[in-house]
Structure 1
Amino acid sequence: MTCGHCGSANPCTPVIHVVDDDEAMRHSLAFLLKSLGHPVECYPSAEAFLLAQPPTGPGCLVLDMRMPGMSGLDLQNALNRAGSTLGVVFISGHGDIPMVVRAMRQGAVDFLEKPFNDQRLLDLVAEALERAAGACAEAHTARLLSQRQESLTPRERDVMALVVLGKPNKVIAHELDISMKTVEAHRAHVMEKMEAGSVADLTRMLMTLQGKP
């Protein structure tokens, strides 16, 4: 059975990761978050989280903003560079506006100042898990499309680029200096290899590959 989110061979179990240098807070958060029905893993520092190499499937990170050593913001930035799909909810007793703005710009779901309302945190973590599942599915789709695109020959890629611009076969043949029959063959191969049912499908696929909405 494949994962409904990322398409991996086995279903992914969403995991909630708690990173906080306060041991009592970690235990309290773990007890609360387990009520959502997902596994909860706790780490005393950002460095410990990175060393553990947690799974990259859908999940959520409840992250303390200020910690000795690597800060929560630095960890978020490192995960973004690595292409992580984890949803991030920041918590801190010492947040300030510039830090919160930076966290949100880097994709955090929200920021909660300690002490916070338990239900508010649960709601935000549920939202983060939902976002992460969507991001994981999108990343899987992009990987599949990239693999399909890599299977195209250079000439098939040339034809695909002109097809999505809406150019007819006759014009494509003229621009590439090849016969109409060759264009038709390449076009058929492109549609088959990309698993596109129409030019509109092919255009959407190419936009996804180019990172366009």
Structure 2
Amino acid sequence: MTDTSLPHPASVCIVDDDEGVRHSLAALLLANGHRPRTFANGPEFLAQVDLTVPGCVLLDLRMDGMSGLQVFDAMRQRASVLKTVFLSAHGELAAAVTAVKQGAVDWLEKPCNEQTLLAAVSKAISLSQDCAQHERRRHLLRERWSGLSPRQQEVARLLATGISSKETARALALRDPERPIDPRTVDTHRSAIFLKLDIRSSHELGMLVEDLGLSEGVIRTP
């Protein structure tokens, strides 16, 4: 039976120490199909929100106690997939621009134009969903990589640079003369690596290794 239910709307967190701002933004977002959650301060938000679930954060730049920038830094340190739109008062342009350079989606000066704010929220949600999908893919690739034997991982790192089986065998022999390997064995490892990682080419292997930060230098042999 086909599931015809609509997907749940993405969560939009409002972090602002002004109760009136929280309520007005929540009403606007709710009226436009979003699922708002309100927080009076940064610590409350960080303690209650799952930062691995995609969504948007409307974050006041200046708050008593933990500032918006400090909350943003804490999110970055925890590898949050939530995307941030800063709300700033007049005169806070420099700090807001700095935040955008560090990865925030946008900044809006209070009071915000409703359509501009809704557009920024939609953009942030879309980027957050893309980020979450990328992280899920990386997690899957890390699991597949962990399924390789240490020797296969060693061979894979070398093959990922685009060198031939013969060059790979030579590089491994230089690295460990006590364990020589011939090109045909490298080819056998290559087949097993491609199967376990569900890839079809050395180019795909290279992108995977780079994406996971597993690249290494290669000893070139004559």
- Give the TM-score normalised by the residue count of structure 2: 0.85
Alignment match, 2:4: none
- Of 71, 75, 89, 1:93 maps to 89
SS of equivalent to 1:37: coil
User: Runs of 4 or more off by more than 3 Å in structure 1?
Assistant: none
Alignment match, 1:185: 188
Cα RMSD (Å): 1.9
- The answer to whether the 8 A contact 1:77-1:106 is kept is no
- The answer to whether the 8 A contact 2:54-2:125 is kept is yes
Alignment match, 2:209: 206
In the TM superposition, what are the counterparts of 1:1-213 in structure 2 within 5 Å? 14-54=10-50, 56-176=52-172, 177-210=180-213
1:145 deviates by 1.1
Change (3 A) 1:166 1:92: closer
Cα separation, 1, equivalents of 2:51 and 2:101: 24
Q: Give per-residue Cα distances to partners, 1:142-183, cap 9 Å, x unaligned.
A: 111111111111211111122122222222223322123321
* Structure 1 unaligned blocks of 5 or more: 1-10
Q: Give per-residue Cα distances to partners, 1:3-61, cap 9 Å, x unaligned.
A: xxxxxxxx775210000111111110000011332211100110110121335211000
Cα separation, 1, equivalents of 2:82 and 2:34: 14
SS of equivalent to 2:66: coil
Q: Give per-residue Cα distances to partners, 1:83-132, cap 9 Å, x unaligned.
A: 00111111122452331122112211111111121110000000000110
Higher relative contact order (CA 8 A, sep 6+): 1
Bigger Rg, which one: 2
- The answer to whether the 8 A contact 2:54-2:132 is kept is yes
Query: Aligned residue pairs: how many?
Result: 202
- Give the TM-score normalised by the residue count of structure 1: 0.88
* Structure 2 unaligned blocks of 5 or more: 1-6, 173-179, 216-222
Change (3 A) 1:142 1:56: same
- The answer to whether the 8 A contact 1:20-1:63 is kept is yes
SS of equivalent to 1:16: strand
- The answer to whether the 8 A contact 1:65-1:95 is kept is no
Cα separation, 2, equivalents of 1:211 and 1:131: 25
